[in-house]
Chains A and B, each alone.
Chain A
Amino acid sequence: GENVEQHPSTLSVQEGDSAVIKCTYSDSASNYFPWYKQELGKRPQLIIDIRSNVGEKKDQRIAVTLNKTAKHFSLHITETQPEDSAVYFCAATGRRALTFGSGTRLQVQP
Chain B
Amino acid sequence: KAGVTQTPRYLIKTRGQQVTLSCSPISGHRSVSWYQQTPGQGLQFLFEYFSETQRNKGNFPGRFSGRQFSNSRSEMNVSTLELGDSALYLCASSIGQPNTEAFFGQGTRLTVV
Q: How far is the CA of A101 from the CA of B102 in the complex (A)?
A: 16
Decide: B99 and A32 in contact? CB cutoff 8 A: yes
> Which chain A residues in 78-100 approach chain B with CB under 8 Å?
89, 93-94, 96-100
B106 within 8 A of A: yes
Decide: B90 and A97 in contact? CB cutoff 8 A: no
Contacts of B22 in A (CB 8 A): none
Decide: B98 and A89 in contact? CB cutoff 8 A: no
Contacts of A44 in B (CB 8 A): 43, 90, 104
B62 within 8 A of A: no
Q: What interface size band does chain B fall in?
A: 20 to 34
Contacts of A102 in B (CB 8 A): 41-42
CB B34 to nearest CB in A, in angstroms, measures: 9
Interface stretch, picked from A13-21, A45-53, A57-65, A68-76, is A45-53
Decide: A97 and B56 in contact? CB cutoff 8 A: yes
Closest to B107 in A: A43
Decide: B101 and A97 in contact? CB cutoff 8 A: no
Scoring A49, A98, A101, A102 by chain B CB atoms within 10 A of each residue's CB, the highest score goes to A98
Contacts of A103 in B (CB 8 A): 42-43
Closest to B58 in A: A97
Closest to B99 in A: A32
Decide: B48 and A43 in contact? CB cutoff 8 A: no
Decide: B48 and A97 in contact? CB cutoff 8 A: yes
Binding site for B on A (CB under 8 A): 31-32, 34, 36, 42-46, 49, 51, 89, 93-94, 96-103
Pull 16 A–B residue pairs with CB atoms less than 8 Å apart, ordered by A: A32-B99, A34-B102, A42-B106, A43-B106, A43-B107, A44-B90, A44-B104, A46-B101, A46-B102, A46-B103, A49-B101, A89-B42, A96-B48, A101-B42, A102-B41, A103-B43
